[in-house]
Chains A and B, each alone.
Chain A
């Protein structure tokens, strides 16, 4: 359920960056979401489909990269890919591992649409500032 507020946060940052770059529209937003971030990609996508309407990302694609859960073992020094609910070292069973990746919730990249003259005309008409 909190995917809505998280998506809102993504869109706020996207709007801000779009203004800063003098762009009008965004064609792609790339996120990295770890399985241990507590965010479900399908729900985030659904929230995006509702919230993008009327935003600079109205026609954008939301590209969610799911990172792997990787732990580092302090005993055998190996890094291993593990399931989300078993962060124990699969080689030596050490449980005091360190998470290397898997809990990210990161905005990686925004792709902007080139401004067209009609974009500019449109934005001037609707200029609020």
Chain B
């Protein structure tokens, strides 16, 4: 590089340009700001497809029953399907310990103060799994109704949980999160008799108002109510992914979750 004007010429005989001549006034772009994240997410997605793993991203407020949902799923499907879990929390290994008690591999990502998981964090823990032996990988995102919705991890589906004690207007309060859902699961419906202000119908309407087109299911895990509908949905998501993969068509690249 020429040290006088900074241009790419290597011979020092060239006539120097006016200082500004090399630099365009501006660059017109139209690039996604999260493009670097999207590249890593696409890499993750490729790995999951290669190893035939369905990846389910669970998102909700803290304490709405994500870990319990995974435990219930493990108990129901244990013999038929191999499950593994990535746990995201600001701190502690509590959730991973809960999952490991069921004999299932769980890797904990502690984010410190970061409010969401991102594709690079997922990529870092993937080598700890033997993906060939896994059918369904759950990613339990950091409990937060805001940030996790914005980051593609390479997942196939987003399941958003709304627990009865939180109130039925949450979708309209957090539209970005609920819009991203491929399934909205209203959990802790065993609280309905005491949570008299919560209406399933209003929660569903609130979800529709923010553009949520996905199915809505109800779940009362301790009473075993709604579990079979959830399992059916999960298994059909698995079947759908791998039927699509075995007959790929160029138009079906839109399998990725909606970008926000």
Q: Which residues from chain A sit less than 8 Å from chain B, CB to CB?
A: 1-2, 5-6, 9-10, 12-13, 17, 21-24, 28, 31, 36-39, 71, 84-88, 95-97, 99, 103, 105-117, 119-120, 123-124
Which 6 interchain pairs have the tightest Cβ spacing? A114-B20, A87-B211, A38-B150, A38-B176, A85-B172, A111-B26
Which residues of A sit under 8 angstroms from B259, Cβ to Cβ? 103
Given contacts A9-B33, A38-B149, A109-B26, are A120 and B19 in contact (CB under 8 A)? yes
Contact A116 B19 (CB under 8 A): yes
In angstroms, Cα B20 to Cα A45, docked, is 29
Given contacts A22-B7, A97-B211, A124-B3, are A9 and B34 in contact (CB under 8 A)? yes
Q: Is B252 on the interface with A (CB-CB < 8 A)?
A: no
Q: Is B4 on the interface with A (CB-CB < 8 A)?
A: yes
- The 14 sampled A-B contact pairs (Cβ below 8 Å) are A12-B36, A21-B23, A21-B24, A28-B26, A38-B150, A85-B210, A86-B209, A103-B260, A105-B33, A106-B32, A107-B29, A107-B30, A110-B26, A120-B3
Contact B23 A38 (CB under 8 A): no
CB distance from B80 to the nearest CB of A (A): 34
Chain B interface mostly = loop
How many A-B pairs fall under 8 Å by CB? 139
In angstroms, Cα B36 to Cα A12, docked, is 9
In angstroms, Cα B209 to Cα A107, docked, is 29
CB distance from A92 to the nearest CB of B (A): 14
Contact A21 B211 (CB under 8 A): no
Which residues of A sit under 8 angstroms from B211, Cβ to Cβ? 71, 87, 95, 97, 99
CB distance from B32 to the nearest CB of A (A): 6
Q: Is B25 on the interface with A (CB-CB < 8 A)?
A: yes
Please give me the residue from chain A that is nearest to B173 by CB atom.
A85
Contact A36 B29 (CB under 8 A): no
Which residues of B sit under 8 angstroms from A9, Cβ to Cβ? 33-37
